Amino acid sequence: MSNSQAADSYTQLPIKAHLLAGWPLLLVLFGGAIGVVYAVLAYILNIKIYQSTLSKLNKVLANLLCSMSALSGWWFSAQLIQGQLF
């Protein structure tokens, strides 16, 4: 896949799909560097989910699962680091 094809497939999604896929980016506000990593990974995976051929219900459920996994991963990583440092 060339860069132009990737850009075209990225822009084919409606704004609503980008908003639903991007809600884990709220981790950027309070998650620090670890939150940014998990949020960006979740956003990329959610975009891939919305580009898939799943039904709408399955896309929303997969989005929630991916996003909640990112939040949980951030939480456990933060607890692990905090436990090691303090």
- The mean of the pLDDT values for the chain is 86
Q: Is the pLDDT of residue 2 over 90?
A: no
CA distances to 3, 34, 58, 79, 83 from 49, rounded to whole Å, are: 20, 23, 9, 29, 34
40-58 per-position pLDDT tens digit? 999 999 999 999 999 999 9
Owner of token pair 């990974």: 41
Q: Is the pLDDT of residue 6 over 60?
A: no
pLDDT band of residue 5 (cuts 50, 70, 90) is low
Model pTM?
0.78
The domain segmentation of the chain, as residue ranges, is: 3-85
